[in-house]
Structure 1
Amino acid sequence: MRIIFIILFICLLFANCKKNNSEFNNSEIKEINDIVKIVILEDSLNVLKSESESKMFCENLIKLNIYIPEKRKENEPIHPLSPSFNNVSIENLIYYKIENKMFFTNTDSLFLLKQNLKPNELKIENKIIKKLNVTSKKIELEKKKIGKSYNYYEMTIPAFSKDNQKAYLELNHYCGNLCGSGKSIYLKKVNGKWKIVDKRRTWIS
């Protein structure tokens, strides 16, 4: 197993030398924005301008860091990355099961890791923004800094399977020092449309 991840790591380093795949193409942007809409609707996020007491939604999606766990000796405990709520190991993605079936496959491994080469942020499309109460991370951190109340969602850029039929993202909700939570969301294309097929809690404050 360790040999597999060493090979993947070498491949990733090689891919880093190639900058021609570092941007999102039009097809990827469309898929990402379709997923944003589905998550807002299916997860019942109260972020639409038309809703009462609507929360805020960050207009920029942030990159999810998919990392390869450090090698460790047998029986040595795993030391996770220091707190950033948008880190996930490739092992957790590849070995995650839904209804006793692997969600991603081993052939998705390298494709998922190569998505780390994408830009750190992606702004959601304007026609979605017009319907939402949008904010930015910078604005919300300023509120926190001066002791002003805040209540917003931040979503990661989805990570896709090689066949573009499955996706994974993380959604964080920040609403105060002792108020907040995060979840991982698994999506699958059903009859050509994205659908949430599983969710799990990643953190809570």
Structure 2
Amino acid sequence: MKKLLNLPLLAVIILFSSCEKKITDLEFEKKVMTEIFPDLIESTCIDIRLFSEPPPIIGQIIYDSEGNHIGIDSIKGTDEQRQKLLDWKNLKIKLERDTSKVIIGFDPIIRDSSKDLKEDFKNHFKNSKIFLPKQKKETEYVFDFKNIKLNNKFRLKNIALFPKNNKAIWRTKYNFIFGGVVSFSRIQFDKNRQFGVLDAAFTCGRLCGQGTRIYIKKVRNKWIIDDIEGTWVS
């Protein structure tokens, strides 16, 4: 009798298990990307206004006999230099407190990484086997980001709404604070779908930007960023 009573429960378990297995690799990837997307934006995008100018120096620059910069004599700092540094600090505090949204151009087409991430994946996640499907039908997909709530001051705008000419993107005067352009590659997972790796690129000008390799993992049923490595700087 007990065995008969357990049959409905067993049927439900089998049903849910089969439904979970039916989810395609692409559907699973989209689900993970949606979950971790706010953290990806926060980790890769920067407010370039905070880094556009270095802090003014206080003192006199010291050079050696060959004209190489070897230090700064802070004792010879002037009142004018101190005031410039104070103004720089006040501006930085003002920008940090600014609640205005910084608009980031986003390419919603998520493509395969141009780099082979297999070895980096194996080196970072020891004893994990990267998932490489035998027949890869999709090399890219369009990511629906519009309804994802971000954690910070950044807001995304489809890159298709910006000038198509790369030079024009940076020369155009916008009626909003334009912060740069961000894009992400597709995620490669291990066979057990517990670890992943993807590439990101953030550009803030024609000669301003950086690339990163992002390692993610599943902890307590939640996807988090495990580590970020720089891949290029412009």
Q: TM-score, normalised by structure 2?
A: 0.53
Q: Distance in 2 between matches of 1:183 and 1:199?
A: 6
Cα 1:162/1:154, change in 2 over 3 Å: same
Map of 1:13-92 to 2, 5 A cutoff? Answer: 24-25=26-27, 27-41=28-42, 43=43, 45=45, 51-52=99-100, 54-65=102-113, 86-92=114-120
Larger Rg: 2
Map of 1:1-205 to 2, 5 A cutoff? Answer: 24-25=26-27, 27-41=28-42, 43=43, 45=45, 51-52=99-100, 54-65=102-113, 86-94=114-122, 96-97=123-124, 102=126, 105=128, 107-108=129-130, 111-112=131-132, 117-128=137-148, 132-136=155-159, 139=162, 141-145=164-168, 148=171, 151-205=180-234
Cα 1:201/1:146, change in 2 over 3 Å: closer
Cα 1:114/1:124, change in 2 over 3 Å: farther
Do the aligned partners of 1:90 and 1:113 also contact (CA within 8 Å) in 2?
no
Q: Distance in 2 between matches of 1:143 and 1:167?
A: 31
Q: Distance in 1 between matches of 2:204 and 2:108?
A: 18
Q: Distance in 1 between matches of 2:100 and 2:171?
A: 20
Residue 56 of structure 1, CA deviation: 0.7
SS of alignment partner, residue 197 of structure 2: strand
Superposition RMSD on alpha carbons, in Å?
Answer: 3.4
Q: Which moved more, 1:127-136 or 1:159-168?
A: 127-136
Higher helix share: 2
Which letter maps to 1:123? F
SS of alignment partner, residue 133 of structure 1: strand
- Could you tell me which runs of 5 or more consecutive residues in structure 1 were left unpaired when the two chains were aligned: 1-20, 66-85
1:35-76, Cα deviation, whole Å (9 max, x unpaired) = 2123224x27459xx9535141415142223xxxxxxxxxxx
1:58-108, Cα deviation, whole Å (9 max, x unpaired) = 15142223xxxxxxxxxxxxxxxxxxxx423423332x23xxx62x62x32
Which letter maps to 2:40? V
1:153-178, Cα deviation, whole Å (9 max, x unpaired) = 11122222211111111111111121
Residue 134 of structure 1, CA deviation: 1.5
- Could you tell me which runs of 5 or more consecutive residues in structure 2 were left unpaired when the two chains were aligned: 1-22, 48-97, 173-177
Residue 23 of structure 1, CA deviation: 7.5
- Identity of paired residues, percent? 24
Q: Distance in 2 between matches of 1:126 and 1:146?
A: 21
Do the aligned partners of 1:60 and 1:124 also contact (CA within 8 Å) in 2?
yes
